[in-house]
């Protein structure tokens, strides 16, 4: 039985294999946040959690007596609440650019995260179309993956956290970037080698690569 959240604790209610939950787990590991991670299925969320989570979605974060359930809100909250290491720039122009990238990759109508979900849950025609779109989009951005160590940045940002969890799933999604995507693969392996990324993986996710 899952107990009521402790108001003084930082608790993440997370899916075992869903990409948004993985992204938050990666960020929390990168920041070395003292936390409790409770893995469960959204369909089986206990009443104690549902009554505090109007979004009734995963991931859901409890901290300081508040509940957060939107991916972008959770990520930015964690970056401000636990400021080291910073995962968003201080400069407002650079920060806005990163926010737009996050929106493009995770929340836009044709976002990469949505393509992942279509591949995982759609019919064959829908999945094939999403697979093609996602692969072509990654190949088109190869110059940006080559540009700097991280995505358009010298330091890791929330954008990289989103991309890392997506790229980790490519094999599972039956997407092979091949030679044209060599730079993307190199970038991905650089992130996968981080101890924080390894720590963020559930046993289920470890099987993806």
Burial of 177 per CB tally in 10 Å (0-12, 13-18, 19+)? middle
Condensed to tens digits (0 to 9), the pLDDT of residues 9-23 reads: 799 999 999 999 999
* CB environment 60-90: b (16+ within 10 A), e (fewer): bbbbeeebbbbbbebbbbbbeebeeeebbee
Residues 96 and 67 reside in one and the same domain? no
Q: Which domain holds residue 71?
A: 11-81
Condensed to tens digits (0 to 9), the pLDDT of residues 54-107 reads: 667 889 998 988 889 899 999 999 999 999 999 999 999 999 999 999 999 999
Residues 96 and 164 reside in one and the same domain? yes
Residues 74 and 97 reside in one and the same domain? no
Q: Is residue 203 part of a domain?
A: no
Q: Is 171 strand, coil or helix?
A: coil
Query: What domain count does the chain have?
Result: 2
Q: Is residue 64 part of a domain?
A: yes
Residues 147 and 57 reside in one and the same domain? no
Domain boundary among 36, 61, 81: 81
153: which 2 tokens?
Answer: 């940045």
Residues 135 and 167 reside in one and the same domain? yes
Domain boundary among 61, 81, 101: 81
């Amino acid at each position: 039985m899952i107990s009521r959240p402790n108001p003084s604790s930082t608790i993440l209610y997370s899916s075992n294999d869903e990409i948004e939950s993985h992204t938050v787990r990666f960020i929390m590991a990168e920041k070395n946040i003292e936390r409790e991670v409770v893995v469960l299925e959204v369909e089986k969320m206990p009443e104690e959690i549902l009554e505090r989570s109007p979004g009734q979605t995963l991931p859901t974060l409890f901290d300081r007596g508040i509940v957060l359930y939107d991916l972008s809100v959770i990520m930015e909250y964690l970056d401000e609440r636990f400021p080291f290491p910073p995962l968003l720039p201080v400069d407002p122009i650079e920060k806005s650019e990163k926010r737009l990238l996050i929106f493009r990759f995770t929340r836009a109508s044709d976002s990469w995260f949505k393509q992942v979900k279509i591949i995982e849950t759609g019919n064959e025609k829908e999945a094939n179309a999403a697979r093609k779109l996602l692969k072509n989009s990654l190949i088109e951005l190869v110059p940006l993956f080559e540009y700097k160590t991280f995505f358009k940045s010298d330091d890791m940002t929330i954008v990289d956290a989103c991309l890392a969890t997506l790229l980790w799933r490519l094999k599972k999604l039956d997407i092979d970037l091949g030679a044209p995507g060599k730079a993307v693969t190199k970038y991905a392996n650089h992130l996968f080698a981080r101890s924080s990324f390894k720590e963020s993986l559930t046993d289920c996710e470890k099987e993806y690569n």
